[in-house]
Amino acid sequence: MRRLPNFGKPQFEQRTIFSSRKKSASTNLLKYALPACRLYGIKTNEGKLCAFIGLSDDKIEMLFVNPKFFKNGCGRRLVDFAEQEKNIKKVDVNEENPQALAFYLHMGFNIAGRSELDGNGKPHPLLFLQKD
């Protein structure tokens, strides 16, 4: 088991992210998805972002952990922050992402519902998870 790197005190910051000048899928994500979220991240002591979470008023909209920091507690810290500091206890997970589903179930979320289609009407089933 790998040990948690010394991140120091977790730094949860709201960040403004600017899109690049290139036209790409990531530019569209920044333009259309991120403005609806409040972003918080964890940085290493060296100032490198290792994980971030995007929150709407009532739901975790996105969670990203740099693969170099998997199994180090970054995702747990961010989800705990969402729950304890922002009182957010819901997340939608793509059913085709078993790793994310396993993570949220391990974190104590339960399946509350299911949709055959994702938020864009595409045939990617979503599971609606929540904590009691």
Count the Cβ atoms, other than its own, within 10 Å of residue 12. Answer: 18
CA distance linking residue 113 with residue 98, whole number of Å: 16
Indicate the average pLDDT of the chain: 80
98: enclosing H helix or E strand: helix 98-106
pLDDT tens-digit readout, 59-118: 999 999 999 888 888 999 999 999 999 999 999 999 999 999 999 999 999 999 999 998
Helix, strand, coil share (%) of the chain residues, nearest 5: 25, 25, 45
Provide the pLDDT confidence category of residue 21 given band limits of 50, 70 and 90. very low
Question: CB neighbours of 119 closer than 8 A, spacing ≥ 6?
Answer: 92, 126
Separation CA 120–CA 89 (nearest Å): 23
- The first and second tokens of residue 85, run together, are 């500091």
